[in-house]
Structure 1
Amino acid sequence: MAIVVNLDVMLAKRKMRSKELAAAIGLSEQNVSLLKSGKVKGMRFETLEKICAVLDCQPGDILEYRPDLPAAGEGAA
Structure 2
Amino acid sequence: MSFLSQARHDKFLDAAWTTITRLENEGCDTQTEEFKQTLMLLQNIFRQCDDLTAQLRTLIKQYEYVQTNTRLKLRASRSKHLKL
TM range (shorter): 0.3 to 0.5
TM-score by length of 1: 0.33
Task: State the structure with more CA Rg.
Answer: 2
Q: Between Structure 1 and Structure 2, which shows a larger proportion of strand residues? A: 1
TM-score by length of 2: 0.31
